[in-house]
Amino acid sequence: MSEQKIKILIAEDDPFLSKIMGNRLREEGYFIEIAVDGQETLEKIESNGYTLVMLDLVMPVKTGFEVLQEVKEKGNKIPILVFTNLAQEDDRREVIELGAKGYYVKSDIAMDELVATVKNFVGT
C-alpha cells in the first residue's frame, strides 16, 4: 500500500484524539491532514482532493452539522464519515440526511475497528 496516496482529512478539535487517529492511519500508509475547526475543514475540503473526511460534529467556529450542510449545498460529493460523541438517534438521522456516509460514536469504536472501517470504506 505504500504506493497509494489516499488522502484523509481528520476534522477533530481534540488534539490528543486527532493525533492518535492520525498516527494510527499513517501507520496504514494513508496521507493524513488535520483540521481543528469547521471553517478550516471547509477550506481544506475545497482545495485538497481528499479520498475521505472523518468529521467530528462538535467543533469550534462551525459545527460538523454546518460543515455537512455547506458541503451538500455546494454539491461536493466527497465521502464523509462522522465520528462523534453525540449518540442521539436524531443526530444520526440528521447527518445521514445531510449526506454523511456513516455515523460512529467515538466511545463505541476501538482504534482497530476505526482503521478497519476506513480501510473498508476506501477499498484497501
Q: DSSP letter for 106, please.
A: G
Sheet architecture: strand order including 31-35: 31-35, 7-11, 52-55, 80-84, 102-105
State pLDDT tens for residues 82-117. 999 988 999 999 999 999 999 999 989 899 999 999
Prediction pTM value: 0.92
- Homologous superfamily assigned to 7-114: Response regulator (3.40.50.2300)
Q: Write down the pLDDT at residue 4.
A: 54
State pLDDT tens for residues 66-75. 999 999 999 9
Q: DSSP letter for 85, please.
A: S
Domain ranges across the chain: 7-114
